[in-house]
Structure 1
Amino acid sequence: MLKELAQADDAIAACVDAAAWALPEHDLIAALDAAHRLQHRLAAVTLALIREVDGRGTARTQGASCTAVWLRERLRLTVPAARRLIDLATALDTGNPAIRQALADGHLSLDQARVITDTAATVQATAGAQAADKAVSLLTDWATQFDPTHLRKLGTRILDHVAPDTADAATQAALDAEARRATRDRHLTLSEQTDGRLRLTGTLDTETAALFRAAIDPLTAPSGPDDTRSPGQRRHDALADICRLTLRTTELPEHGGDPAQIVITTNYDALTQQLSNGALDTGPSLTPKAVRRLACDASILPAVLSGTGQVLDVGRQRRLITGPLRRALVLRDRGCAFPGCDRPPRWCHAHHIHHWADGGTTSLTNAVLLCGHHHRHLHHSDWTVQLGSDGHPEFTPPAWLDPEQLPRRNHYHRRT
């Protein structure tokens, strides 16, 4: 397979450099169709490989919490996109082989294959395997004419064509299946932008959408005739108000032993003179004006840093790992320090590099932030961790994973 894929890669590389402008219109359209079909066929190969990786448990063997997280690190996918690929790969492997073959033949796109797979599962649960086979055949034919959205609409009444005797009774089953898909597909993705902003994307199920609207709608009305904000800007500001109101309650669970909170690092003298920017524990920077505004309702904890930003000392509010030492860890590691993990500091445990039971001290030079999965993984695997020459953690993989055992670092939390 590797040899064949290498040959395909060479062939495609040659096409990239070809002069598309020189093609006659007929050949241009034919080339576009061929490239589109090839994309679908490669997707079928990718799904087969993902299914095998998932089935073998490769992700956990290599230290990831699940296959979706491993695919994000390996292929630079978002976790929701990776999960959708895993779900489709599993469905094609265990479901109707005709869908997998149609994708491999280049007759379906990934989105069309996902629609047909979902519809076939609903039909099989309602009217049996024979009706599901008929539905797959019919929808595969329709896929040559209709995009995924239209194909899903047609699929809602597919039983009228393949099992008319049970169509009415199956309507409720189809609605129930749609509700289950909504539950399965619910997600919220937070994508950090290079300038410190956050992009929100996602899909809310019906109940959550109702809760969200009930909370945000009263706060989105214009504040007066001089309010020039757009509707989108008003919704943004309403979400900020909801977050502020929520943080003022005492009902949120703790993170790492501390209440839910915003942590900002800044220069105290410059703060009092309104000259200093601030760095959030999640990475982005804030303007002096924003830092001053947040400082009005905050407790200030002093910390001493070296010229390279390494934490040297930190004021004490509580003893041991849950107080000032944990804040020092957050300032240094900024999240789970294990390579490839993007878990924020509030989801992390403090791990003793030299175990406490073996005489290790509770100090910054003997601690590292790890999420729950990687904390367990480090205790039960051959990975090791130590601080590098610059005082930041680096992890050495086992020899079976990397014969050279080159130290690795986490790059998700870097600020520069």
Structure 2
Amino acid sequence: MGDATARLHEAIDLVAGIDVSEVPTADGLGELLEELTRCLRRLDFEFHRLLRSFEARGDHVPLGYRTAKQWCRDRLRMGDAAAATSLKLGRVLIDMPGTSARWAAGDLGSEHAGAIAKVRTDDTREAFGEWEGWLAQQAVDLDMRGLRKVLAKWRLQVDPDSGEPDRIERDRDAHVSATFQGAVVIDAVLDAIGGAAFKTVFDGIVEELFKADWTQAKQKLGREPLSSELARTPAQRRADALVVMAQRAHVANPSAAARLRPLVVVVAGLDALAGGLAELWNETPITARQLARILESDPDLERYVYGPGQVPIAYNERHRFFTGKLRRAIQVRDRHCTARGCDRPADYCDIDHIEAVT
């Protein structure tokens, strides 16, 4: 064991000795970071594998600790949450052979493995054994956002009666309290549908405040500002957005205001109406029962038809800009930016280009 860790330290010393100036291209440094990530993932898997054996053998007991978690907190200086998460993940590795193999090879990491492990429940255990290898492959092929979407859909398809959507709706709550200094603390958990309606308005106001800060800083500096040079931090803009929402709600005429509805996008075809899955605009999967509740609330319905290659076939005229129904059709299709590594909501995308048109 000592020889193995000694060699690891030697390898780390080699990496520490890399002179970045000798890696002049972005591709070269990027490739190095990718390879280092694979190495870190492989090492992390071995840590969890050995930690599982350490706990299973009860090695913490002769060392004077009642639980392995206590040993992790004391000897590894891990926090409660980190220790509990690592121990739990180590325990389920034996039931996740496909995920373990890809993790051991560095193809995925603990974040992916942890997300997959969360959909393994008593109700999904049998199906999980059959699909676990496929889920591991999704973790290799997709980014974390895409993986979470696949896992959420898989969970609802395998166990549609799990009651999870109903539990989330039942457990929704909100707390608004004042501190002795007069500040107000807000803490809330919304269900998927109510949360989608809230975020539609909230995110729009946050974006509005960001543009105002950007314009103000640009006029003051005479150049494109850095994010750190804006008048407010992202957290401050979010706080101010809540105040703006309250102010606008107060001056609005409730009888004339249009009721906000989240847009439910059916991605599974007509079978969603027969018991399949649908999606909210933010790609959160919902059950047919949740969809039925929305349909019962007199929603606005929009229909879009796509041809081969997911091209909207209802439009054939030339457009300089993507506006109106054509823009909406592309938003419904993609839901977010399709540039690699970007998940900016489609509402804030320019559809056909990355750089602003001049």
TM-score relative to the length of structure 2: 0.45
Q: Which has the higher helix share?
A: 2
Q: Which has the higher strand share?
A: 1
Structure number with higher relative contact order (C-alpha < 8 Å, ≥ 6 residues apart): 2
Query: Greater Rg, structure 1 or structure 2?
Result: 1
TM-score relative to the length of structure 1: 0.40
